[in-house]
């Protein structure tokens, strides 16, 4: 939740805290102030003069009335006239939208800073900097090391040039090359300027390999200055080269770049609101910021990785030529994808231009990892396994529907929402609370009037009895009470202060900013890691203590960029707790908390190079760069990591509460590796049609970033949605891993039961989602265990179709399902493309289960999509395990099984099913089921953590299910099997050796659908307790 998009946070606080009877007056006040702020200075003078004049006239009239009682009637008329004027003004104000309206998107904050990329007078480092020369080269077992020396006079363009550098090149794995350039001389005083500690993001380790086994080749040159090049050996394609450019390496600025091929295809470099394919006219700023999903702005997280997909036209003789305009749909193409990860947590900018890419950073190292691919799947898996870690597995219930609103005033309001979902038979798995529940917006304390603990306990007892769940929000900032004021006492702060848990100013006093509760401090994760201070212990303890009062099931972390509503340590003079840090003895004090740390010679507040930060300077709307950690390091070097560290602390705090259960966390600010501990939601989006579309590329990008548990604020957060938009959004989000509806206090209610059409659209989409929960859970498990993606772009699944390079208006859910949502207002049809047409891929309509006809390479097909339906298609060659839909995930898991097999053109299909207890961090037992209609497969190579392999196969008119693993508690029966694409007549169906009664199955010859029912009688012991084969002939 951001800061009301331009209004002061105190206005919202006043508006919220007033009693319901004063809400109209509060709304009038908020809108008046918002309207007044947007007046020109002259308009404000005229308005105030007019109001003052009206007041003077009224007073004069009252004075006159006292002397001339006969003028009472005239006075009444004048007073009525004045009241009428004020009511008219009130009506106008109430009709105006607040500045948070979705129709009034914000422009960049103007604090006087001019980003370098927008400054016509900015110096181009390439025109003045000398680059480096090789001083020595040594071959090693894994690659090369070398020293680099400045090739001429220092340019000192955006900092102080580093004279000597060290180069390390390692072939770390068969598919991974590491190129690192660091200052040769690094000491304790400047280590954090350049090095990202392994403790914060483990550095990929080199494996013992033969460099010749890699398809990547590294070469270097020293003419005219040092440069390097990475080439794909199998194609001769240059993937990255600094030839023709200078490497610039200063204490507060790094620049390097590479030429790029024509019309290149890059993906990643988040977080931002943009199409999936980034294009070649974009600057990506990586600096975590509380920004309400503004298009192309730097948003909440930083993920410095990109994937580069290149298409080659293949001749009849097999020769390949790069094609920047690969639009010949009669030609054959072959694609190759590689990845580049810059392991750097400092503020960065990546300039994508027509023929080159330039990487700039305000510190850190050149720490590059090249992943050879050659497909997106290979790159993403390698990136996660080697560099950032595999994503956390989620509990089964988290894949149900979640609902929240900022504005539920008490437990009764929340209970009413839960009841109405049940009355309208709309699934509800988890109800959430925004900051409404807090005692004056303070973490870990409930409002004693509106959200008392006793009523909360009773509410949660009822909720949990119904197998439903509860998640509260927890903000990053911790309220700082008035020193010595017993009425303002705040125990969590006091306990944290005792444990030296908070970040300070350079002089050792508390760094105090401002968030929702007022003046706030923030935990010092770095001091806890390197000095043993108490931030992590304190945070885990507070999470545990709060759970004793409110037995929540997960935590929603917000404002962790960090977000601060003021500049600098604005509360230090108001909340003076003296010097609180023991490190004060070795840190030179600063006379101004907003100025540079005097122990650090760098210009932290206004570095020489100005990035295009949405909030202006580095201190804009966040913690100042000189905020100091317990080990003496400063926020300048660690800003992008702070939010990730809060997620990590919360993960371990939840493990203290639930030692054996997978922690469920949804967080806003992320960095590379955050997926290991948390999911992410897309932040404060807008209730309009463009943002319905943007949710798709945003989700697909986070698939690349290793955070598959992703969703958006369904129906939009800011501004008021409408019936049609909310219907379409509830449908779309039903196929995202994380599915939640959430909106702003100033907007209208958007619970799906508000409108009949939205309720119906939601029920239908949810019925599909809940039936697919076994498939979704299995697909997500493969993301967790192997690094595959859950949501997938068409180009990733069909890599040799270049016309799909920009396709982001439809997507795949796993490998079996394709979703084609309606994204335009007023449409009851949608155009969709059906990939793989030239290679014989068959697609089946989810609803009528028949094969789609009249498709061709890259050809759009118009699809009927009435308001209550979202087009869904099943890909031939895949088998999908399912349950019966229900109102909770627990009820779904208790229902009978079914299997949907969609045969490919050869009459074959495969699929898998993962089963465990749905909650354990380390399941004691698990089962994998292989089901296929092809030659029986060996146990699936994907799951490697447990002995739990089972797969479905279909071939030669037979479906086989093979189980491996030891999970014994899944005893639901198999109800029915549906096979799509069956050719010819069927006269006999058998299950193992038993011939089925003719009444238990039916064959639709014209549509090729075989439906086999009544299998529950043959699977009394459970669908997966033993292997089985279903045959038809």
Helix count and strand count (H, E) for the chain: 19, 50
Angle at CA of residue 692, ends 691 and 697, nearest 5°: 80
The residue written with tokens 């992410």 in the block is 680
Please state, as a whole number, how many other Cβ atoms lie within 10 Å of the Cβ of residue 87.
10
Question: Residue 168, preceding bond cis, omega within 30 degrees?
Answer: no
Active site residue 603: no
Strand partners, 873: 818, 845
Question: Residue 562, preceding bond cis, omega within 30 degrees?
Answer: yes
- DSSP annotation of 117: G
Pinpoint the alpha helices (H) of 296-442. 376-383, 411-423
Active site residue 637: no
At 552 the three-state DSSP class reads coil
Half-sphere exposure of residue 332, counting CA atoms within 13 Å on the CB side? 8
Sequence-distant (≥ 6) Cβ neighbours of residue 428 within 8 angstroms? 400, 401, 403, 418, 421, 422, 468, 887, 888
The residue written with tokens 């038993």 in the block is 994
Q: Which of these is catalytic: 170, 514, 558, 744?
A: 558
750-776: burial string, b at 16+ Cβ within 10 Å, e else: bbbbebeebbbbbbbbbebbbbbbbbb
**Which value, to the nearest 10 degrees, does the dihedral of the CA atoms of residues 282, 285, 286, 289 take?**
-120
Please state, as a whole number, how many other Cβ atoms lie within 10 Å of the Cβ of residue 922.
10
Of 869, 538, 907, 682, residue with least CA distance to 1 = 682
**Residue 169 belongs to what H/E stretch?**
strand 164-173
Please state, as a whole number, how many other Cβ atoms lie within 10 Å of the Cβ of residue 22.
14
Active site residue 308: no
Alpha-carbon torsion (432, 438, 443, 445), positive or negative: negative
Q: Tokens for 703, please give them.
A: 């698939």
Q: Tokens for 557, please give them.
A: 């972390």
Of 645, 632, 633, 535, residue with least CA distance to 582 = 632
**CA 544, CA 444: separation in Å to the nearest integer?**
10
The residue written with tokens 């009506």 in the block is 91
- DSSP annotation of 855: -
Strand partners, 845: 873
Contact of 379 with 306, CB cutoff 8 Å: no
Residues written for the chain: 1033
**CA 213, CA 205: separation in Å to the nearest integer?**
17
Please state, as a whole number, how many other Cβ atoms lie within 10 Å of the Cβ of residue 520.
31
- Cα 105 to its chain centre, rounded Å, is 21
SS3 content of the chain, % helix, strand, coil (to 5): 30, 25, 45
Please state, as a whole number, how many other Cβ atoms lie within 10 Å of the Cβ of residue 191.
12
Q: Which residues are catalytic?
A: 558, 561, 684
């Amino acid at each position: 939740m951001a800061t009301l998009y331009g209004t002061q946070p105190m206005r919202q606080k006043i508006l919220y805290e007033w009693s319901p009877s004063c809400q109209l007056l509060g709304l009038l006040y908020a809108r008046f102030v918002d309207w007044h702020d947007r007046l020109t200075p002259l308009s404000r003078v005229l308005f105030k003069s007019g109001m003052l004049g009206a007041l003077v006239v009224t007073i004069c009239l009252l004075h006159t009335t006292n002397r001339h009682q006969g003028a009472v009637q005239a006075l009444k008329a004048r007073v009525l006239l004045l009241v009428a004027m004020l009511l008219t003004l009130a009506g106008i104000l109430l009709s105006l939208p607040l500045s948070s309206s979705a129709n009034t998107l914000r422009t960049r904050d103007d604090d006087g800073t001019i980003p370098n990329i927008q400054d016509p007078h900015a110096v181009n480092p390439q025109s003045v900097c000398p680059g480096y020369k090789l001083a020595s080269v040594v071959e090693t077992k894994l690659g090369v090391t070398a020293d680099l020396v400045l090739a001429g006079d220092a340019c000192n363009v955006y900092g102080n040039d580093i004279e000597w550098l060290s180069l390390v090149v390692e072939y770390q794995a068969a598919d991974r090359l590491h190129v690192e350039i660091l200052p040769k001389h690094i000491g304790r005083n400047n280590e954090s300027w350049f090095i990202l500690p392994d403790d914060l993001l483990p550095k990929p380790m080199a494996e013992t390999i033969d460099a010749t086994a890699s398809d990547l080749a590294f070469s270097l040159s020293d003419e005219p200055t040092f440069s390097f090049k990475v080439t794909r050996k199998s194609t001769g394609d240059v993937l990255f080269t600094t030839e023709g450019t200078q490497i610039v390496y200063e204490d507060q600025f790094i620049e390097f770049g590479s030429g790029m091929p024509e019309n290149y295809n890059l993906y990643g470099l988040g977080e931002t609101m943009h199409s999936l394919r980034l294009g070649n006219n974009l600057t990506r700023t990586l600096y975590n910021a509380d920004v309400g999903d503004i298009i192309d702005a730097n948003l909440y997280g930083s993920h410095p990785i990109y994937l580069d997909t290149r298409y080659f036209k293949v001749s009849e003789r097999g020769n390949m030529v790069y094609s920047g305009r690969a639009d010949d749909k009669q030609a054959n193409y072959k694609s190759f994808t590689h990845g580049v990860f810059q392991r750097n947590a400092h503020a960065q900018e990546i300039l994508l231009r027509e023929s080159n890419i330039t990487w700039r950073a305000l510190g850190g190292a050149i720490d590059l990892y090249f992943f050879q691919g050659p497909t997106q799947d290979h790159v993403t898996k390698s990136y996660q396994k080697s560099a950032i870690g595999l994503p956390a597995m989620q509990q089964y219930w988290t894949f149900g529907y979640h609902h929240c609103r900022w504005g539920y005033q008490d437990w009764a309001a929340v209970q009413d929402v839960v009841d109405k979902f049940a009355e309208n038979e709309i699934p509800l798995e988890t109800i959430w609370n925004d900051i409404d529940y807090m005692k004056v917006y303070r973490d870990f304390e409930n409002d004693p009037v509106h959200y008392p603990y006793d009523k909360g306990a009773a509410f949660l007892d009822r909720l949990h009895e119904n197998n439903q769940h509860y998640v509260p929000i927890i903000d990053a900032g911790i309220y700082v009470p008035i020193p010595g004021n017993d009425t303002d006492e705040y125990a969590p702060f006091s306990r944290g202060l005792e444990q030296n848990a908070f970040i300070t100013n350079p002089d050792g006093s508390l760094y105090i900013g401002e968030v929702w509760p007022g003046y706030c401090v923030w935990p010092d994760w770095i001091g806890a890691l390197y000095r043993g201070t108490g931030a992590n212990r304190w945070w885990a303890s507070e999470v545990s203590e709060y759970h004793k009062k409110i037995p929540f099931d997960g935590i929603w972390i917000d404002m962790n960029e960090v977000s601060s509503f003021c500049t600098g340590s604005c509360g230090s003079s108001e909340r003076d707790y003296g010097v609180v840090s023991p490190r004060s003895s070795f840190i030179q004090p600063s006379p101004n908390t907003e100025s540079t740390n005097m122990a650090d010679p760098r210009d932290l507040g206004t570095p020489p190079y100005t990035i295009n930060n949405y909030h202006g300077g580095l201190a804009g709307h966040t913690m100042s760069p000189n905020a100091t950690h317990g080990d003496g390091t400063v926020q300048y070097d660690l800003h992008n990591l702070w939010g990730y560290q809060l997620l990590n602390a919360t993960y371990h705090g939840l493990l203290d509460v639930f030692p054996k259960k997978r922690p469920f966390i949804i967080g806003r600010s992320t960095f590379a590796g955050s997926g290991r501990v948390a999911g992410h939601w897309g932040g404060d989006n807008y209730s309009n049609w463009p943002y319905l579309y943007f949710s798709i590329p945003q989700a697909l990008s986070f698939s690349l970033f290793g955070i598959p548990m992703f969703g958006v604020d369904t129906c939009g957060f800011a501004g008021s949605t409408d019936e049609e938009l909310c219907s379409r959004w509830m449908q779309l989000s039903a196929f995202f891993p994380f599915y939640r509806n959430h909106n702003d206090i100033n907007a209208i209610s958007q619970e799906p039961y508000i409108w009949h059409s939205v309720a119906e659209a939601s029920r239908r989409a949810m019925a599909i989602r809940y039936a697919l929960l076994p498939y979704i859970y299995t697909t997500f498990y493969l993301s967790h265990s192997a690094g595959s993606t859950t949501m997938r772009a068409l180009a990733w699944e069909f890599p040799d179709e270049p016309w799909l390079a920009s396709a982001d208006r439809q997507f795949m859910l796993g490998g079996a399902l394709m979703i084609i949502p309606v994204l335009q207002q007023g449409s009851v049809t949608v155009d969709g493309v059906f990939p793989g047409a030239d290679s014989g891929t068959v697609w089946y309509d989810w609803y009528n289960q028949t094969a789609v006809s009249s498709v061709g390479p890259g050809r759009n097909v118009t699809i009927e999509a009435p308001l209550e339906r979202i087009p869904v298609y099943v890909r031939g060659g895949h088998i999908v395990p399912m349950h019966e839909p229900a109102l909770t995930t627990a009820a779904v898991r208790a229902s009978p099984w079914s299997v949907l097999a969609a045969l490919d053109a050869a009459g074959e299909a495969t699929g898998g099913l993962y089963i465990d207890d749905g909650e354990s961090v380390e399941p004691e037992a698990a089962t994998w089921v292989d089901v296929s209609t092809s030659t029986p497969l060996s146990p699936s190579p994907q799951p490697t953590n447990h002995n739990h392999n089972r797969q479905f196969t279909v071939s030669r008119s037979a479906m086989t299910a093979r189980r491996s693993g030891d999970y014994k508690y899944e005893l639901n029966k198999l109800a029915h099997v549906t096979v799509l694409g069956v050719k010819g007549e069927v006269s006999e169906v058998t299950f193992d050796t038993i011939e089925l009664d003719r009444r238990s199955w039916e064959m639709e010859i014209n549509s090729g659908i075989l439906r086999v029912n009544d299998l529950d009688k043959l699977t009394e012991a459970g669908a997966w307790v033993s292997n089985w084969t279903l045959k038809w002939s």
